[in-house]
Amino acid sequence: MGAAQPWLNAFQKSVVDGDANEIARLFVSDGFWRDYLPFGWTLQTIEGRDAIAEFGVQTGPASGFKNPVFEGQSDETEGFFRFVTSDGPGRGHIRLENG
């Protein structure tokens, strides 16, 4: 299995658990998370590890985010994925830096 699916699995666990340290560990210090509804019900970009961790803790547990499935090849580090939230199915895009 490539880098994307294990990252998505770790992301799911960290946001559902509301684990700020684990959420932060998954992002580079100047990384960003673009949320188009499934977590914050707004269109927003969260920048920086600390802000991302705070956002994930505030919105992740209530989102019901689960079952992320990477749609690309197993060795790819960028592509689309499907997921489910308590409000229904969704689709996202992931781009990992340095795997």
pLDDT score, position 90: 95
Own/partner long-range contacts of 53-57 (Cβ < 8 Å, ≥24 apart): 53/20, 53/21, 53/23, 53/24, 53/27, 54/20, 56/14, 56/15, 56/18, 56/20, 56/23, 57/18, 57/19, 57/20, 57/23
Strand partners, 91: 82
Residue-level length of the chain: 99
Instruction: Using alpha carbons, select from 39, 42, 18 the residue that is nearest to residue 86.
Output: 39
Mean pLDDT, consecutive 10-residue stretches, the chain (99 aa), reads 87 96 96 91 94 96 96 91 95 88
